[in-house]
Structure 1
Amino acid sequence: MSITLYHHPFSRAAGILWMLEEVGVDYELRWVDMQAGEQKAPEIVALNPMGKLPVLVDGEAVVTEAAAIGLYLGDRYGYGTLAPKVDDPARATYLRWSLFAPSVIEPGSMAKMAGWQYKPGSAGWGTPEEMLSAIEAAIGDRQFLLGDRFSMADTIFGGTVRYMLRFGLLEKRPAFMAYAERLSARPASQRAEARNVAVMKEHGIQPPG
């Protein structure tokens, strides 16, 4: 078993479980007690200087940042299926919305929640309404971001949308809610959720929210 995920169910590592279940590879979880500050331990900082989760180790490869991990797993273990090939035009849409999640949805939602004052033309995430309209355009009336074809982009973009909806950080538009429900119905998503819950029980912690 070469893949190790440094994990805590209250971190973005929780969503990486879904990615791993989708690609169907063997992996092990390395518990990191965030309440005790173990994410700042020398072992973790040596892998990720930010001292944050998730950290995924696959043999000699070390990957951090949730979107990067999703793209890595797609190319490494689902190339041509969960990740469009480089000569497939769908690759453009795949990359576009995968990177939209961390570069627009996350900071845009944080800016709105915190009441940041900024010039929309100077911020990559624009205005909250532009962000919401872009999310809605990405989903449209399609099953997934690539139409009827599920991809790792849905774990990155869709995982972010679903998390934001769960904690009231995103407007609950019908298209968003329906998309999140489709993602939650996937067997891999349900297996990941069950494993996160099992880790919580094992370590005596309560689920958030």
Structure 2
Amino acid sequence: MKATSEPIFTSGFPLGSSAGLVTAFEWLGQPYRLTRVDMLGEMRTEAYKRLNGRVETPVLITDEGRVLTETIAIALWLEGRDTERRISFEPGTPQADRMHQYLAFLNTGFTGAFYPMWVALEAADATEGEKETLRKFGRSFVALRHEQLEAMIGDSDYLLGNEPTLADAVFAGVARWADFHQAIEPRDYPRIRALRQRIEADPAFRFALAVEDGKPGGGNGAMKGLVPLEDVLRNASRALAA
């Protein structure tokens, strides 16, 4: 794809983990644009498959026109842009290593724990008994990962100190799934509960949810406009045909 004036980030809805990275873009404060993607419809089209053959969000079109997929890859791209260290740490430091550890855990074990519950929700041909088995396994996996994360969290306001980082953003995009699936009792995990409340009250996260709802008002000015998905897909098709 051709270079763009600002990177374009696709944000999936409903309940996309992408909301976490929208939050990170806001915390970073550098210019970007957004494209909203309906994960129950638009994402499943042949046109979208040409953008991401795995039929997933998020997708980032960098300002150089490169297509980048996968949450961790995009998070590391943001880390590379963060020269003022607003949402990350100096590469090679113990803090940076610790942040990468959190990112890996959150994007694999923590996020993956919800998979059986999403399958139960979307498996139209499954019996109710099969769905309940999936939900049971899902609740046990989610509880285990919450127990592990609860033990990892220290006494600071955020995962890695008193300021939010990429790790907090990735966490926030997924943590709300526990409410949707009624997977755990939040009071059983007081540190996670406090962290969620702190991030979910943040204007950047509230902006991310407004984007998800199709009402992207507010923000700190870093988001320079919405790009229709049709335009992104059209440009992608042209690039593939060139």
Same fold, TM-score > 0.5, yes or no: yes
TM class by shorter-chain length?
A: 0.7 to 0.9
Q: CA deviation at 1:12?
A: 2.8
Bigger relative contact order (CA 8 A; separation at least 6): 2
Q: Label 1:81 to 1:22 Cα distance change in 2 as closer, same or farther (>3 A).
A: closer
User: Is the radius of gyration larger for structure 1 or structure 2?
Assistant: 2
Q: Label 1:82 to 1:7 Cα distance change in 2 as closer, same or farther (>3 A).
A: closer
Which of residues 45, 51, 58 is equivalent to 2:55?
Answer: 51
What CA deviation, in whole Å up to 9, does each residue of 1:37-62 have, x standing for no partner?
Answer: 32133442233110222211112332
Residue 9 (structure 1) aligned with residue 13 (structure 2): yes
Residue 146 (structure 1) aligned with residue 156 (structure 2): no
The residue that corresponds to 1:190 in the other structure is 206
Report % sequence identity: 25
Residue 95 (structure 1) aligned with residue 109 (structure 2): no
Residue 114 (structure 1) aligned with residue 135 (structure 2): yes
Query: What are structure 1's unaligned runs of at least 5 residues?
Result: 118-125, 201-209
Distance 1:8 1:24 in 2: 21
Residue 132 (structure 1) aligned with residue 146 (structure 2): yes
CA contact (8 A) 2:18 2:173 kept: no
Q: Label 1:128 to 1:186 Cα distance change in 2 as closer, same or farther (>3 A).
A: closer
Distance 1:58 1:194 in 2: 23
Distance 1:198 1:157 in 2: 22
Q: CA deviation at 1:199?
A: 4.1
Q: Label 1:163 to 1:74 Cα distance change in 2 as closer, same or farther (>3 A).
A: farther
Q: Label 1:7 to 1:150 Cα distance change in 2 as closer, same or farther (>3 A).
A: closer
Distance 1:31 1:145 in 2: 28
CA contact (8 A) 1:98 1:153 kept: yes
Q: What SS is found at the alignment partner of 2:67?
A: strand
The residue that corresponds to 2:182 in the other structure is 168
CA contact (8 A) 1:9 1:199 kept: no
What CA deviation, in whole Å up to 9, does each residue of 1:4-57 have, x standing for no partner?
Answer: 12333313333332122111122222343444x321334422331102222111
Which of residues 7, 23, 26 is equivalent to 2:28?
Answer: 23
> What do you get for the CA RMSD once the two structures are aligned?
2.9
Distance 2:144 2:45 in 1: 40
Which of residues 175, 178, 182 is equivalent to 2:194?
Answer: 178
Distance 1:79 1:47 in 2: 31
Q: Label 1:3 to 1:127 Cα distance change in 2 as closer, same or farther (>3 A).
A: closer
Distance 1:81 1:33 in 2: 30
Query: What are structure 2's unaligned runs of at least 5 residues?
Result: 118-133, 217-242
Q: CA deviation at 1:148?
A: 1.4
